Structure 1
Amino acid sequence: MAEWWRRKSLRFRLTALSVVGLTLVFAASASVLMIVLGRSLMDTVDETTQQHAQAVRAQADSGTLTDPITTQDGTIVQVVGADGKVTHGTYGADRLVPLLDAGDRRRALRHESAWFLDGEPYGIPGPLRVIVISGDRGVTVLAARPVREIERSLLTAGRVLLFGTPLLVVFLAGGGWLIIGRTLRPIVALRRGAADITHTARSRRLPVPEARDEVHSLAVTLNDMLARLEEAESRQRALVSDAAHELRSPLASIRLQLEVALGHPEGQDWPETAEGVLEDTLRLSRLAEDLLALARLDERGGRLARNEPVNLDEVVRQVVERYGEARLTACDPVVVRGDALDLSRVVTNLMDNAVRHAASTVEVALTRDGVLTVTDDGPGIPAEDRERVFNRFTRLDHGRSRDEGGAGLGLAIVRETLVAHGGAVRLEDAAPGLRAVVSLPSIK
């Protein structure tokens, strides 16, 4: 049963739950209504009968009681004397046998409650509602009123509720089915919109309903997700396109050198050819390493591979020692949290750029507040291009003219790695040259 229920649609389950709830509510309401209506009608009858009985008792106590007793609404009244005989009564009332025997009269007086009595033995169809009150000198007044019409009214009301309530539930169920269907229509539109989006359909968005409800928020959130996926896809396509373009040059160079060497082997300087091929192979290796580093950064989504204390001064010192042109002007002890290998790659990329463009010297300084500067005395970068060079595969014109120029991934790796470490990088004019300023949060 539970499995069958889970397989049903949301519209069916909501409608079924609402129908069950309405049925229970209507059944409880009908029951309460019948009970309250019956009790109210009986209370009204008891009150009227009690008033007639009290009026007759007052007349009996004062000795002004007439015979027969007259009532306007058909209430039956008997006055029973101390000897148990009927002394007075309304027209048509039994003058020989009281409505209640002596024992029942005593119990009715003791409990002060009305009694139901079958009216057939007294020639009255249906039940009677009997009230008993006592008067002076042992006189007892019995007042009874037929309640057959009340029973008929209650029976009629019960039938109306019995047949009308299911019809009302069916009507409300149909209305609920339509209303729930209209309520779920935006979700159906979202599903159809999502089904229409394929891997070839770009710049598609899901329909957003006008109502500012939960479905509207869901549609907006899904569209934001699609926008992020589209952006990631665009970046991936651009990365693949740029990588293919950068790979084409060294591969074409290697192919050309080998074809020339094999075409004229007798006049070929094989060591020189091997050096050229090795240079292009190293260029391919650096490009592959940079692409792998970017892929790992994208895969981690801005998270660190390792998050541990790192002595940044030791990392800087070890990297700078590999460059004879560089001079370490300051190297204060600094401890940061992050990945030592990633931070070493950051310093290495900055040093490669500085050494590649420097005219004579490269100066490196690390201060105690976690600020690292790498300064060269090269041509520098125009102010309008200092932010653009951090994009992937971005190289300025004078950088492209250099044979030893990179693929334009070094600074992109630097920025994304530093952002993952909670740091930042910017380029400043060194007059002459360029200064790269790296700031990292240090552990105090």
Structure 2
Amino acid sequence: MADSPYAWWRRQGLRFRLTVVAATVLALALAVSASVLLTVLDRTLIDTVDDSTRAQAQTVRVQADSDTLTTPITTHDGTIVQVIDAAGRITHVTYGADRLVPLLAAHDRERALHEGSATFVDGRPYAIPGPLRVVVLRADRGQTVIAARPVGEIQTSLGTAARVLFVGTPLLIVLLAAASWLIIGRTLRPITALRRGAAEITHTARSRRLPVPESRDEVHWLATTLNGMLARLEEAEQRQRALVSDAAHELRSPLASIRLQLEVALGHPEGQDWPETAEGVLEDAMRLSRLAEDLLALARLDERGGVPARNEPVQLDEVVRQIAERHGEVRLTVCDPVLVRGDTLDLSRVLTNLVDNAVRHTSSKVEVALTADGVLTVTDDGPGIPEEDRERVFNRFTRLDSGRSRDEGGAGLGLAIVQETVRAHGGVVSLEDAGPGLRAVVRLPVAG
């Protein structure tokens, strides 16, 4: 079954389609222009002949009214004139004009006088080649003046112009189509360069960028946008590779510890304290479990692309109270009613990570506060974090060398999960100096 013309058209290249469309529009424009030109030219030339013939007829009518006509009548532009009396006889004519047969019959003369416009007459019966343009005027004493001018030359000129346009217009269309083909090809050349540059970018040449044309046009901005996308993809790939590398490094330590404890226990079973060995293996297994849960949480956040799992009303003050009750060392100072939109489990994880982090590093107390404007703060009186490191600790697998380094199995993912989750809910998180200690501040948009 043959494809439809539309399907064939869609398969053609952009350069071909643009050229065909440009040539078609140009052909239509030239055809309309040629038609209008010939029509206007014909109308203008005929009007010029009518005005000249009418002026000559007016001159003869004045002479007829004053009875000063001469035989033959003299005209300066070759106009043919006949003067007919009331009885229908031809009394005066120009040189060479018919003296017996009027150019217009009586009823045609009356109609021309009534309409007041010039008319066409075939000149061949009067031995005049081509058509005539005839004007009729009424004179005194029942006389009628008929003036005529041959318009064969005008029609010949119009025919010549039409033939020139008929031959020249297709040639012009072909010429302009070829020019359009070349111009469109040069215009699309940067796109071809982009395609070739994209084909050369492989997994071994990830840092390459697409060529950016110098012209500040749409292709320039397209290349700039694509290069930005490549940079973001490269950054995401680097982050992914770093995440895999860091995750493998974190998994290696507890796995090595488990293996060592089991090898020692199996190598000396008679002197091994098996409950102690089981406790050590369980501790490392719990550490592996927490790491797997954190990695899974980050993977889900990345998969959702910065959007919470659910977008439902959450009474944040109830979440704060529940978590504060589970930690005996946490004191809830302020807990105003706050309604936000998002996922309850994700927001609970945010507060749990902040509280666990604060409890792990506090000296004596941890204070939690929630105000009506959606600001949640978790404050401890521990060693704090230097100001230059307060942004860096939100990176994945980041641990400082100070008192907030790894302890109790921490892998440096808690604050990263907090930041990604808060961003997904349209909020921001920051760390501030509590003098002494550290204050984590979470600002969430209040619903309604």
**Out of 44, 49, 55, which is 1:40 matched to?**
44
Deviation per CA, 1:91-143, whole angstroms, max 9, x where unpaired? 22222222222222222222222232222222222222222222122222222
* CA gap 1:253/1:75 in 2 versus in 1, 3 angstroms: same
Ranges in structure 2 where 5+ consecutive residues have no aligned partner:
none
* CA gap 1:101/1:414 in 2 versus in 1, 3 angstroms: closer
Give the aligned residue type for 2:384.
Answer: G
2:162 equivalent to 1:158? yes
How much does 1:54 deviate? 1.9
Aligned positions of 1:357-396 closer than 5 A: 357-359=361-363, 361-369=364-372, 370-396=374-400
Deviation per CA, 1:370-422, whole angstroms, max 9, x where unpaired? 54444444433333323322211111224587652411111211222223334
How many residues align structurally? 442
2:17 equivalent to 1:23? no
Instruction: Give 2:153's aligned residue.
Output: 149
Aligned positions of 1:339-354 closer than 5 A: 339-354=343-358
Give the aligned residue type for 2:319.
Answer: V
Instruction: Give 1:287's aligned residue.
Output: 291
2:114 equivalent to 1:110? yes
Q: Is the 8 A contact 2:380 2:437 kept in 1?
A: yes
How much does 1:66 deviate? 1.3
Instruction: Give 1:335's aligned residue.
Output: 338
**Out of 271, 275, 296, which is 2:300 matched to?**
296
Q: Is the 8 A contact 1:364 1:372 kept in 2?
A: no
Quote the RMSD (CA, aligned, Å). Answer: 2.4
Distance (Å, rounded) in 1 between the aligned partners of 2:317 and 2:86: 121
**Out of 83, 91, 101, which is 1:87 matched to?**
91
Distance (Å, rounded) in 2 between the aligned partners of 1:47 and 1:430: 102
2:147 equivalent to 1:176? no
**Out of 177, 185, 191, which is 2:189 matched to?**
185
Q: Secondary structure at the match of 1:397?
A: coil
Distance (Å, rounded) in 1 between the aligned partners of 2:246 and 2:419: 19
Distance (Å, rounded) in 2 between the aligned partners of 1:290 and 1:403: 16
Deviation per CA, 1:198-243, whole angstroms, max 9, x where unpaired? 3333223222233323333322222222222222222111111111
Distance (Å, rounded) in 1 between the aligned partners of 2:370 and 2:239: 36
Distance (Å, rounded) in 1 between the aligned partners of 2:69 and 2:170: 55
Give the aligned residue type for 2:249.
Answer: H
* CA gap 1:347/1:124 in 2 versus in 1, 3 angstroms: closer
Most deviating of 157-166 and 35-44: 35-44
How much does 1:331 deviate? 4.6
Most deviating of 380-389 and 225-234: 380-389
Give the aligned residue type for 2:351.
Answer: V
Deviation per CA, 1:307-338, whole angstroms, max 9, x where unpaired? 333343433343344444x1425252432423
Aligned positions of 1:423-442 closer than 5 A: 423-442=427-446
Q: Is the 8 A contact 1:362 1:374 kept in 2?
A: no
**Out of 70, 89, 101, which is 2:105 matched to?**
101
Ranges in structure 1 where 5+ consecutive residues have no aligned partner:
none
How much does 1:17 deviate? 1.7
Distance (Å, rounded) in 2 between the aligned partners of 1:4 and 1:274: 73
Distance (Å, rounded) in 2 between the aligned partners of 1:339 and 1:52: 98
Q: Secondary structure at the match of 1:109?
A: helix
Aligned positions of 1:397-408 closer than 5 A: 397-398=401-402, 404-408=408-412
How much does 1:278 deviate? 1.0
Instruction: Give 1:228's aligned residue.
Output: 232
Deviation per CA, 1:258-302, whole angstroms, max 9, x where unpaired? 222222333322222211111111110000011111111222222
Q: Is the 8 A contact 2:338 2:371 kept in 1?
A: no
Aligned positions of 1:253-332 closer than 5 A: 253-324=257-328, 326-332=329-335
Distance (Å, rounded) in 1 between the aligned partners of 2:426 and 2:133: 90
**Out of 415, 420, 423, which is 1:416 matched to?**
420
Distance (Å, rounded) in 2 between the aligned partners of 1:10 and 1:410: 52
Instruction: Give 1:237's aligned residue.
Output: 241
Instruction: Give 2:255's aligned residue.
Output: 251
Q: Is the 8 A contact 2:206 2:234 kept in 1?
A: yes
Q: Is the 8 A contact 1:49 1:75 kept in 2?
A: yes
Q: Secondary structure at the match of 1:174?
A: helix
Q: Is the 8 A contact 1:127 1:146 kept in 2?
A: yes
* CA gap 1:240/1:72 in 2 versus in 1, 3 angstroms: same
Distance (Å, rounded) in 2 between the aligned partners of 1:94 and 1:64: 21
How much does 1:430 deviate? 4.4
Distance (Å, rounded) in 2 between the aligned partners of 1:389 and 1:292: 20
Most deviating of 38-47 and 220-229: 220-229
Distance (Å, rounded) in 2 between the aligned partners of 1:86 and 1:162: 45
How much does 1:367 deviate? 4.1
Q: Is the 8 A contact 2:358 2:366 kept in 1?
A: no
Q: Is the 8 A contact 1:336 1:440 kept in 2?
A: no
TM-score (norm 1): 0.91
Instruction: Give 1:50's aligned residue.
Output: 54
How much does 1:353 deviate? 2.3
Distance (Å, rounded) in 1 between the aligned partners of 2:236 and 2:345: 26
Most deviating of 270-279 and 186-195: 186-195
Distance (Å, rounded) in 2 between the aligned partners of 1:106 and 1:316: 108
* CA gap 1:269/1:28 in 2 versus in 1, 3 angstroms: same
Distance (Å, rounded) in 1 between the aligned partners of 2:222 and 2:271: 72
Distance (Å, rounded) in 2 between the aligned partners of 1:327 and 1:86: 130
Q: Is the 8 A contact 2:123 2:131 kept in 1?
A: yes
Give the aligned residue type for 2:259.
Answer: R
How much does 1:429 deviate? 4.1
2:72 equivalent to 1:68? yes
Q: Is the 8 A contact 2:117 2:135 kept in 1?
A: yes
TM-score (norm 2): 0.91
